[in-house]
Amino acid sequence: MSSDTQHQAPSANSLTSGPPRNVGALARRERSLAYTMLLPTFFIVLSIVIIPLAANFWISFKSVELGDLRAARPMINEQLRPKPKTDGQEVILRYRIRNSSKKEALGDLVFTDLIPEGLVIDTAGSVCAQQDQTLSCEIGDLEGGKRLDLKLPVTVQQAYLDKGVRARTSKPVSSYVTTNVLTSFDFTTANFTKVFSGEEFWNVLRVSLYYTIFGTLGALVLGLFAAQILHTAFRGRAVLRGLFLFPYVAPVIAVAFAWVLLLDAGPGGTFNAMLQRMGAVDAPINFLGQKYIEMSFLGLSFNFPMALTTVIIFESWRYFPLSFLFILARMQSISTDMYEAAEMDGATPFQQFWYLSLPQLLGILSVLFLLRFIWTFNKFDDIFLLTGGAAGTRTLTVDVYEQAFAVSNLGAGAAVAVVVFFILLTFALIFFKFSPQDDG
């Protein structure tokens, strides 16, 4: 018995040798192969996500405007006036030189030009020198936005007139030294100081959060109701499912202008005309152009954010089909046995939804809330097409556009974009920390 026991019991060394070591080597090879196959994905993510994000961070610490995107360079215009007509005529060779940048200076500027035969240039007392047919001018430093008018006396000879050649037979070639604000290592925090010191930023942040939270919740609630309705089998359900997808698949510019026409406060506004015919309102309501409308409820008067609420309703209507699809797919994967048991126990439809369906949907609802929150917070085109950011609907994304392009301050626009990134990153971390897990 003891010998059999000793023969059957594996030793400690045998547990760490043999086949397990081979399995480990195979796993390592499979892991290396997997990483190799994922390399193209890593490069794609690096190129379309990380590099633009790093560039945005870089620009946010730069005092850069749209005009600074092009590096400084000299603009040289050459003229020979008056037009040569006779041998021995005195004319002027004129070079108009301008720095294309208003900020960056040009250093050690030198340009050369090929002079046609038959023109004798007097370079005495000037910054230019002529050797054979090549004219070389040492301008030196040229400050940003500075202009220089260089005039050289020229004597016309018959050889020039015989050939009929003009002075502008070749363009001046220049060499210079300059710096680019985008590639330099001069950084500043002035953009962030400007962003956080202004009261306007905090108002825009409040509007962004209000718009994002209620727009996200509206899309989820509408999607949940739509999924609950179309989960039940009835005639024409497939057609209705297709129609419910229309707001999401339709071009945003088409549906946005359709809403603008419907909600117009002028004579062509369909919705206002209906409200007036029903006697609901005495005068048209400017749904997209009026910041606040005074309302009363239970004897209390308050200012209702009309334009912002209208934009939120549009956001909820346009993007509820995405929530509808995900929620409906999750509902169809839930077993019907527990619903049948609950119905036999006398549970009402609301009780079945609240105690059976909703706990099963918490996981997908949390994921949808995260995605819709991020997408809505970054949404620009809807608001821009509906209101242009006016009437209290200016969000952070609209502010990025206006700072970068309307005001031409790319640095400030990038700084606002960095703030948006950190807000979304903070929200995502908190969400992943406390979000419910889908056990189904």
Buried b (16+ CB within 10 A) or exposed e, 9-25: eeeeeeeeeeeeeeeee
Task: Read off the pLDDT band of 165 (50, 70, 90).
Answer: low
Q: What is the mean pLDDT of residues 162-175?
A: 72
Instruction: Please determine, looking at this structure, whether the domain spanning 74-177 carries the CATH number 3.40.50.620.
Output: no
CATH pick for 192-434 out of 1.10.3720.10, 3.90.740.10, 3.30.9.10, 1.10.10.10:
1.10.3720.10
Domains 74-177 and 192-434 are alike in CATH topology? no
Q: Contact 124/167 with Cβ under 8 angstroms? A: no
22-31, 92-101, 154-163, 244-253: range with lowest mean pLDDT: 22-31
The alpha helices in 281-348, defined as continuous H runs, are: 306-332, 337-344
* Alpha-carbon distance values, 199 to 126, 190, 202, 307 (Å): 55, 16, 6, 21
What residue type is 247 in one-letter code? P
Average pLDDT, the chain: 85
Task: Read off the pLDDT band of 95 (50, 70, 90).
Answer: very high
Give the pLDDT score at 279.
86
H/E element holding 177? strand 173-177
Does the pLDDT value for residue 287 go beyond 50?
Answer: yes
Boundaries of every domain in the chain = 74-177, 192-434
Does the pLDDT value for residue 281 go beyond 80?
Answer: yes
Collapsing DSSP to helix, strand or coil, 149 comes out as strand
Q: What is the mean pLDDT of residues 37-55?
A: 85
Could you tell me the end-to-end alpha-carbon distance of the chain, in angstroms, rounded to an integer?
50
Give the pLDDT score at 167.
46
- The Cα–Cα gap between 20 and 27 comes to 10
> Hey, what's the torsion of the CAs at 266, 272, 273, 275, to 10 degrees?
-160
User: Over the stretch 397-435, which tens digit does the pLDDT of each residue have?
Assistant: 999 998 888 888 889 999 999 999 999 999 988 888 877
Task: Read off the pLDDT band of 23 (50, 70, 90).
Answer: low
- The Cα–Cα gap between 229 and 126 comes to 87
- Whose CA is closest to 133, among 98, 157, 106, 105? 157
The answer, yes or no, to whether the previous bond of 251 is cis (omega within 30 of 0) is: no
This prediction's pTM: 0.74
- The Cα–Cα gap between 110 and 429 comes to 56
